[in-house]
Amino acid sequence: MINKERLLANLNAMQTISTIEGVPGINRIAFTDEDWQGRNYLIKQLKELGLSLRIDDFGNVIGRYEGYNPNAPAIMMGSHTDSVPQGGNYDGLAGIVAALEVISDLKESKETPEHPLDIVLFMCEESSRFGSATLGSQAMRGQLSRERLQTLRDKKGLSLYEVLKERGFNPDTIPHAKFTTPLKAFLELHIEQGIVLEKTNHTIGIVTGIAAPTRYKVHIHGTAGHSGATPMNHRHDGLCAAAEIILAAERIAQNSKPIPVVATVGVIEAAPGAMNVIPGEVTLGLDIRSISAEAKTRATQDILQAISEVGHQREIPIDTTLIADEMPLMVKDSMIKAMETVAQAKQYNYMTLPSGAGHDAMNWGDYTDVGMIFIPCRAGVSHNPAEAIDIQDLVTGTKYLKDLILYLDQQ
Ligand SMILES: [Zn+2]
């Protein structure tokens, strides 16, 4: 039986570790002491379950529960251990405590699958510290170079390279972190971080695809000037150009069909920032997402074209810097079908839906079959101290994860 008390005990222990006096919410910011204490607690749980452990050069942890066929590829499950600053206790951790519970339950009922089961603890999924997301799984996929580790820096100026060294890893061997063991599937359970499941009264979300961001910094080189003395027809107002760009991004995303695209300008910095000065230098942060790489590329090209037209019409030089360009994931039809078969056979209250947020799972689509399960979170709130779940939904999600593993094991 999936044991609610055991799930709660692990969640509560991690909550205690990640609470800093005087700071709201959960604070397991990647590679900080709280993150590391949480990781140590989870490693202890993996050991107590008798799993054999492997730790890679980035600190990711993989625990293996042997199946009866040692040559079969493993079914891997897991999620990330870190949180955003002042976050909630369920983003990432829900998927790990569910994976631990699946193994506890299998051991108790003396069920041995044919395939080995791997539990993975991904490090540094959140972009809050180093400005880039899912770094642990990127390291496992061999996508992190030594140079990138030196470029990625936190607010204090510490590079990821230095931080890894401080934690006792050798960042020079980061290419060795590449995961090469064959997998049959990778499954990630995660809170939805949206309101769809709750609004429609569903307990299980079968994810059809994961949107991934493409991000640009847009540098608008307008001309600052006296706001009283400069006539309207002699201005090169950087902020007016920015306004047109923001609305163009909104319009292009709104018109994207049939696959939706979302585009957001969430950052705007205007210099010099005075009431009596026409804005000159303006920097925008632009974020474009879709579950379809093709739809995202098309919208991105249209937005870049619109930016260049605004610059041309207003005679303002504008340049763009690509910050991130991550591949979205479309879940394979065969996996969605398997997940629906299990949900129907055992009468789970489920629906299919896309994920607007990025997840570690999106890095694994070209390595193995990926399946992602959502459970509801209250009012869709996440990355916030108010993040909450109904523990019964996590129990149901964990049961479903186990049923899905046992089904895939027989395929
Ligand atoms: Zn997460």
pLDDT tens-place string over residues 86-128? 999 999 999 999 999 999 999 999 999 999 999 999 999 999 8
Domain assignments of the chain as residue spans, ordered by start = 4-210+329-409, 212-325
How far apart are the CA of 84 and the centre of ligand 1, in A? 9
What pLDDT is attached to residue 78? Answer: 97
Contacts of 135 (CB under 8 A, 6+ apart): 30, 58, 123, 124, 125, 144, 152, 160
Separation of CA 377 and ligand 1 centre (Å):
12
Q: What is the pTM of this model?
A: 0.86
Query: Which of these ranges, 118-122, 184-188, 339-343, 379-383, has the smallest mean pLDDT?
Result: 379-383
Distance 25 CA to ligand 1 centre (A): 15
- Cα(71) to ligand 1 centroid in Å equals 32
82 Cα–ligand 1 center, Å: 8
Tell me the mean pLDDT in the region 325-350: 95
- pLDDT above 90: percentage of residues in the chain: 91
CA of 104 to the centre of ligand 1 (A): 23
Q: Residue 324's pLDDT is what?
A: 84
Determine the distance separating the centroid of ligand 1 and the alpha carbon of 188, expressed in angstroms: 10
Q: Which residues contact 238 (CB under 8 A, 6 or more apart)?
A: 220, 221, 222, 223, 270, 279, 280, 281, 282, 316
DSSP string, 265-314: EEEEEESS--TTEE--EEEEEEEEEES-HHHHHHHHHHHHHHHHHHHHHH
Instruction: Output the average pLDDT for the chain.
Output: 95
Q: Is the pLDDT of residue 325 over 90?
A: no
**Torsion sign (Cα): 257, 261, 265, 266:** positive
The 10s digit of each residue's pLDDT in 228-256 is 999 999 999 999 999 999 999 999 999 99
pLDDT tens digits, residue range 133-167?
Answer: 899 999 999 999 988 899 999 989 999 999 999 99
Distance 316 CA to ligand 1 centre (A): 40
* pLDDT at position 212 over 90: no
Query: What CA–CA distance (Å, rounded) separates 365 from 117?
Result: 18
Instruction: Give, in words, the CATH class of 212-325.
Output: alpha beta
Q: For residue 269, list its beta bridge partners.
A: 283
Using a CB cutoff of 5 Å, list residues around ligand 1, an ion: 91-92
Distance CA 46, CA 103 (A): 9
Answer whether 177's CB lies under 8 Å from 136's CB. Answer: no
Q: How close is the Cα of 301 to the center of ligand 1, in Å?
A: 29
Q: Residues 207-220: what's their mean pLDDT?
A: 94
Assigned token pair, 196: 């769809």
CATH superfamily of 4-210+329-409: Zn peptidases (3.40.630.10)
pLDDT at 82: 96
Give the Å distance between the CA of 92 and the centre of ligand 1. 4
Helices (H) and strands (E) in the chain, counts: 11, 15
Task: Name the DSSP letter for residue 79.
Answer: E
pLDDT band at 327 (very low <50, low <70, confident <90, very high): confident
